[in-house]
Structure formats: C-alpha cells, structure tokens
A and B are shown apart, each in its own frame.
Chain A
Amino acid sequence: SYVLTQPPSVSVAPGQTARITCGGNNIGSKSVHWYQQKPGQAPVLVVYDDSDRPSGIPERFSGSNSGNTATLTISRVEAGDEADYYCQVWDSSSDHHVVFGGGTKLTVL
C-alpha cells in the first residue's frame, strides 16, 4: 500500500516561513491535499489539488508537489497557525483508497 511520510515536528518563529513536507513514491503524479487540525477540533482543509486554497484560507498557505515530495508552505507564520498538519492522497494503485500521512506538529516558537 502507498505510504506518506511526514516529519513529526517542525518549529518556526513568528513571521518566518514554515515548510512541511510529505514524501511518497512519485507523489508528484498524484493530487495532494493538506489539512490543519487544532487541539480538540476537526481537521480543516487548507490546500487541495497540490496548490489550491479553499475559500477563506489565507494566501499565506500554499502548496507544491514534484517528484517524491509535496510541500505545504506557510508564510509569515502566526501563533494561530500552531497545529497538526496532515497530507492526504488517493492511492489509485489500490482501487482508489484514501491515504493520510502521519501528521506534523507545527510549533510556533
């Protein structure tokens, strides 16, 4: 089955840029979606189809995807961005199953 690998944690100072990676075999050929989850809350979609933003998500959130790595970039990080972030793809090699990454805890220093 398809595996998505995320770093357990990323730390960044306020105002700086955070980059959260999601690794997978030839992930560049898939559409990657990113979710933000704050403690005690349901996940929220922040980026879909590699780099599109849902309505209401700040432009500070952006995404890219190439080769074996997809990246969620958060510019001008704010304290309110501290959360867990998950990447997700559809694994077309196995009858289109959903796959989530293991999640990355973003800490704002």
Chain B
Amino acid sequence: QITLKESGPTLVKPTQTLTLTCTFSGFSLSTSGVGVGWIRQPPGKALEWLALIYWDDDKRYSPSLKSRLTITKDTSKNQVVLTMTNMDPVDTATYYCAHTSFMITFKPFDYWGQGTLVTVSS
C-alpha cells in the first residue's frame, strides 16, 4: 500500500531555511505519471498548496511562494525534499506531502502523509 511520511525540524528561527523530507513507499517516482506534492495548513486555517514534482522532474510551484521554494526528488531513496527560504512566523503550519498522478488529466491527492508541524519562532 502507499504510505508517505514527512520529516524535518519542528522549530525554525525567522530568516532560516526550512528543509522537509517526504519519504514514501508503495510507488516509485520513476513511474510515468506519478507525482508528489506539498501542502501546508496554518493552525485553524485552510489548506494551501506549495509545490509539486512529477516523475519526469516537471516541477510546479505556488505563484505566491515560488521565489522561496525548491522541490527535488531522489528516486533511489524514494524521497522528495522541499526547501523554503526566509522563514517567517506566518509560515508556522502543518506541512503535508501527498501522492498524485497525471493520466491524461491531473488527478487528485489520493494519499497523504500524517503531516509535520513546523513552528517558526525566535
């Protein structure tokens, strides 16, 4: 079965760079059509999409955060890494990674990790 799990620091200081890792199993990012995305959710607020990477290394970013985000994949380790620069307290949120795919049309996020809470504070 497909599982995903996020890992990274729980606390970062303002202006620092956040690096999160999504480690997954049950699928391969070298398989045509497969993708992994990152979504975050500030406490008590709505879901916000951040970034997405596909099997062919096609990368998409949220227009509002594009300048601060980088998404990469390590197919051999079954991992996707998201970096976000210049962290601010407003970036405090639970960060999720999720599986998706592209088959003629873009598919939903059908499997999600449990999420990891990142707090930005000095």
Contacts and interface: CB of A to CB of B under 8 A. Distances in A.
Contacts of B107: 48
Contacts of A90: 105-106
A42 B47 contact: no
Interface stretch (B13-21, B75-83, B112-120): B112-120
Interface stretch (A9-17, A18-26, A68-76, A98-106): A98-106
A94 interface: yes
Nearest to B62: A97
Contact of A43 (B47, B48, B60, B105): B47
Nearest to A90: B106
Contact of B115 (A42, A86, A94, A102): A42
A42 B3 CA distance: 12
Chain A: interface size category = 20 to 34
B55 interface: no
B46 A101 contact: yes
A45 B111 CA distance: 8
A48 B106 CA distance: 11
Interface in A2-49: 31, 33, 35, 37, 42-45, 48-49
